[in-house]
Chain A
Amino acid sequence: MAAKVAKQSRSAGVPGRKGAPEQEGEELPLQAVLVADSFNRRFFPVTKDQPRALLPLGNVAMIDYTLEFLTSTGVQETFVFCCWMASKIKDHLLKSKWCRPTSPNTVHIITSDLYRSLGDVLRDVDAKSLLRSDFVLVYGDVVSNIDVSQALQEHRHRRKMEKNISVMTMIFKESSPGHRSRCEEDDIIVATDSRSQQILHYQKTQGLKKLQFPMNIFHSGSNEFEIRHDLLDCHISICSPQVAELFTDNFDYQTRNDFVRGILVNEEILGNQIHMHVTKDGYGARVSNLLMYDAVSSDLVRRWVYPLTPEANFTDQEGRGCTYSRHNVYRGPGVTLGHGSQMEENVLIGSGTSIGANCCISNSVIGNNCTIGDKVILDHAYIWNDVHISSNVTISQTVVCDRAEVKEGVTLNKQCVLAFNVVIGPNVSLPGGTVISMHHPEEEEEDDDEFLSDDAEVGQTKDKKGKQKMFNPAEVGAEGKGYVWKASSLDDTEDEELTQCLWGLVLNPDPESDSEDSEPEGPDDPVIPSPEMDDVKVVQMEVLGTLQRGLEENISCDNLVLEINSLKYAYNVTLKEVMQILTRVVLEYPFQQQGSLITASQYVALLVPLLKIWSPVFKNYVKRAQDQLDCLSAFEEHFLEQENHWAAMVKVKALTMVFFFLLHQVLKEMYDLEILEEEMILRWFSLEPSTNQSRKLRKNQGLQKLIQWFEEAEESSEEDEE
Chain B
Amino acid sequence: MELQAVLMAAGGGSRMTDLTYNTPKPMLPVGNKPLMWYPLNLLERVGFEEVIVITTREVHKMMSTDPKTKLDIKMKLDVVCIQEDGDMGTADALRHIHQKVKTDILVVSCDLITDVALHEVVDLFRAHNATVAMLMSKAHEFTETVNVPQRDFVGVDQSGKRLLFMANEADLEDGLIVRRSIIRKHPRMHIKTGLVDAHLYCLKKAVVDFLAENKSISSIRGELVPFLVRKQFSKMTSGQKRMDDTETVDQKNDGLTNDDLFFPSRDEALLQLAQERSCWNDHRGDMSEAYHGGKLRCYVHIMDQGLCYRVNTLSAYIEANRMAPKFIEEPAVHPSAVISERFQMGSDSMIGAGCHVADKTSIKRSTIGISTTVKEKVKVTNSIIMHGVTIEEGCNIQGSVICSNAVIGRGADLKYCLVGNGQRIEPEGDTYSNTKKSILLEVSVTFGLV
B217 contacts A by Cβ under 8 Å: yes
Report the nearest B residue to A209, measured CB to CB. B180
Residues of B within 8 A of A229 (CB): 183-184, 187-188
Contact A528 B192 (CB under 8 A): no
Task: Determine whether B176 belongs to the interface, using a CB cutoff of 8 Å to chain A.
Answer: yes
Which A residues lie within 8 Å of B151 (CB)?
A: 223
Q: Which of A93-101, A171-179, A295-303, A430-438 contacts B (4 or more CB under 8 A)?
A: A171-179
Q: How many residues of A contact B (CB 8 A)?
A: 39
Closest CB-CB distance, A14 to chain B, in whole Å?
Answer: 46
Tell me the nearest residue of chain A to B259, going by C-beta.
A526
Within 8 A of A (CB), among B115-172: 151, 153, 155, 169, 172
- Give the complex CA separation of A521 and B179 in angstroms: 11
Tell me if A530 is interfacial: C-beta within 8 Å of chain B.
Answer: yes
Stretch at the interface among A138-146, A335-343, A509-517, A565-573: A509-517
Q: Establish whether residues A526 and B191, one from each chain, have CB atoms under 8 Å apart when the complex forms.
A: no
A228 to B223, CA, bound (A): 28
B278 interface hit (Cβ, 8 Å) = no
State the CA gap A189–B192 with chains docked (Å).
18
Which of B2-10, B226-234, B438-446 lies at the interface?
B226-234
**Closest CB of chain B to A534's CB: distance in Å?**
11
Given the interface pairs A179-B285, A209-B179, A215-B169, the reply to whether A528 lies near B223 with Cβ below 8 Å is yes
CB of A687 within 8 A of chain B?
no
Mark interface residues in A169-197 (1 if CB within 8 Å of B CB, else 0): 00000011111000000000101001000
Question: Cβ of B191 and Cβ of A211 under 8 Å apart?
Answer: no
Q: Is B406 an interface residue (CB 8 A)?
A: no
B45 to chain A, nearest CB (A): 31
A521 CB contacts on chain B under 8 angstroms: 234-235
A211 to B155, CA, bound (A): 14
Q: How far is the CA of A105 from the CA of B38 in the complex (A)?
A: 69
A223/B155 in contact, CB under 8 A: no
Chain A residues lying within 8 Å of B155, measured Cβ to Cβ, are 227
Confirm or deny: B214 has a beta carbon within 8 angstroms of a beta carbon on chain A. yes
A524, B230: Cβ atoms closer than 8 Å: yes
Q: Is B53 an interface residue (CB 8 A)?
A: no
Within the assembled complex, what's the spacing in Å between the Cα atoms of A215 and B177? Answer: 10
- Given A178-B286, A230-B187, does the pair A513, B181 have CB atoms closer than 8 Å? yes
A640 to B204, CA, bound (A): 41
B187 touches A176 (CB 8 A): yes
Q: Which of A215, A512, A513, A516 contacts B176 (CB 8 A)?
A: A215
**Does chain B have a CB within 8 A of A670?**
no
Q: Is A492 an interface residue (CB 8 A)?
A: no
Write the chain A residue with the least CB distance to B218.
A530
Q: Which chain B residues (186-204) contact chain A, with CB distance < 8 Å?
A: 187-194
Tell yes or no: A214 within 8 A of B by CB.
Answer: yes
Nearest Cβ on chain A to B260's Cβ, whole angstroms: 9
Check: A21 CB closer than 8 A to any chain B CB. no
Q: Which of A177, A223, A226, A524 contacts B231 (CB 8 A)?
A: A524
Q: Is B305 at the interface (CB under 8 A from chain A)?
A: no
Question: Is B72 among interface residues, defined by CB-CB distance under 8 A?
Answer: no
Question: What is the CA–CA distance of A226 and B184 in the complex, to the nearest angstrom?
Answer: 14
B284 at the interface (CB under 8 A from A): yes
- Per-residue contact bits, chain A 498-532, to B (CB 8 Å; 1 contact, 0 not): 00000000000010110011000101101111100
Contact B190 A223 (CB under 8 A): no
Contact B191 A177 (CB under 8 A): no
**In angstroms, how far is the closest chain B Cβ from the Cβ of A579?**
27
CB distance from A169 to the nearest CB of B (A): 19
Supposing A179-B285, A529-B216 touch, asked if A517 and B235 sit within 8 A by C-beta, the answer is yes
In whole angstroms, what is the CA distance A179 to B286 when docked?
8
B181 contacts A527, CB within 8 Å? Answer: no
Known contacts A211-B183, A218-B153; is-contact A223 B216 (Cβ 8 Å): no
Task: State whether B285 touches A178 (Cβ < 8 A).
Answer: yes
Decide if A210 is an interface residue (CB 8 Å cutoff). yes
Whether A176 lies near B284 (C-beta < 8 A) is yes
Taking CB atoms and an 8 Å cut-off, the chain B residues in 32-46 that contact chain A are none
Task: Give the interface centre of B190, B191, B217 by most chain A CB atoms within 10 Å.
Answer: B191
Query: Does A270 have its Cβ within 8 Å of any Cβ on chain B?
Result: no
Residue A470 lies at the interface, judged by CB distance under 8 Å to chain B: no
Would you give the shortest CB distance from B140 to chain A, in whole angstroms?
A: 13
B303 at interface by CB-CB < 8 Å: no
Nearest-CB distance from B291 to chain A (Å)? 16
Give Cα A205–Cα B183 distance, bound, in whole angstroms: 11
CB of B285 within 8 A of CB of A516, answer no
What is the CB-to-nearest-CB distance from B177 to chain A, in angstroms, rounded to a whole number?
5
Contact with A512, one of B178, B180, B192, B286 (Cβ below 8 angstroms): B180
Nearest chain B CB to A311's CB is how many angstroms away? 31
Is A684 engaged at the interface, CB distance under 8 Å to the other chain? no
Which residues from chain B contact A209 at a C-beta distance below 8 Å? Answer: 179-181
A254 to B168, CA, bound (A): 38
- Chain B CB count within 10 A is highest, among A175, A177, A205, for A177
Which residues of chain B are near A269, meaning CB under 8 Å?
A: none
Q: Which residues of B contact A211 (CB under 8 A)?
A: 177-180, 183
Query: Once the chains are docked, how many angstroms separate the CA of A516 from the CA of B235?
Result: 9
Q: Does A660 contact B (CB under 8 A)?
A: no
Q: How far is the CA of A512 from the CA of B182 in the complex (A)?
A: 11
Nearest CB of chain B from residue A710's CB, rounded to whole Å: 43
Interfacial chain A residues near B177, Cβ < 8 Å: 210-213
Contact B176 A176 (CB under 8 A): no
Minimum distance in angstroms from B429 CB to a CB of chain A: 47
Chain A residues within 8 Å of B192, by CB: 223-225
Closest A residue to B195 using CB positions: A223
Nearest residue (CB) in B for A518 is B235
Query: Taking the complex as formed, is B174 at the interface, i.e. its CB lies under 8 A from any CB of chain A?
Result: yes
**What chain A residues lie within 8 Å of B191 (beta carbons)?**
191, 218, 224-227
B82 at the interface (CB under 8 A from A): no
Interface membership of B65, Cβ < 8 A: no
**B234 contacts A524, CB within 8 Å?**
yes
Residues from chain A with a CB closer than 8 A to the CB of B86 are: none
Give complex CA distance A164, B335 in Å: 66
Interchain CB contact under 8 A, A212 and B176 = yes
Contact of B174 among A175, A189, A212, A218 (CB under 8 A): A212
Given contacts A194-B190, A208-B180, contact A523 B230 (CB under 8 A): yes
Asked whether any CB of chain A lies closer than 8 Å to the CB of B331, the reply is no
CB distance from B179 to the nearest CB of A (A): 6
A215 CA to B183 CA, complexed, in Å: 18
Does B175 make an interface contact (CB < 8 A)?
A: yes
With A227-B189, A228-B188 in contact, is A526–B258 under 8 Å at CB? Answer: yes
A222-263 contacts to B, CB under 8 A, are 223-230
* A226 touching B189 in the complex, CB below 8 Å, given contacts A211-B183, A215-B175, A528-B227: yes
* Neighbouring A residues of B153 by C-beta, 8 Å: 218
A138 to chain B, nearest CB (A): 25
Q: Take A176-B187, A528-B223 as given contacts and tell me if A213 and B176 are in contact as well, using a CB distance cutoff of 8 Å.
A: yes
The 10 closest A-B pairs by CB, nearest first: A176-B285, A230-B187, A223-B194, A229-B187, A225-B191, A227-B189, A213-B176, A223-B193, A229-B183, A214-B175
Given contacts A223-B192, A224-B191, A229-B183, 11 further A-B contacts (CB under 8 A): A211-B180, A212-B174, A212-B175, A218-B176, A223-B151, A227-B178, A228-B189, A229-B184, A512-B184, A524-B231, A527-B216
Name 28 A/B residue pairs within 8 A (Cβ), A-sorted.
Answer: A176-B187, A177-B184, A177-B285, A189-B183, A191-B191, A211-B179, A213-B178, A214-B175, A215-B173, A223-B193, A225-B191, A225-B193, A226-B188, A226-B189, A227-B190, A228-B188, A228-B189, A229-B184, A230-B285, A513-B181, A516-B235, A521-B234, A524-B230, A527-B216, A528-B216, A528-B223, A530-B216, A530-B218
Chain B interface residues (CB < 8 Å from chain A): 151, 153, 155, 169, 172-181, 183-184, 187-194, 214, 216-218, 223, 227, 230-231, 234-235, 239, 258-259, 261, 284-286
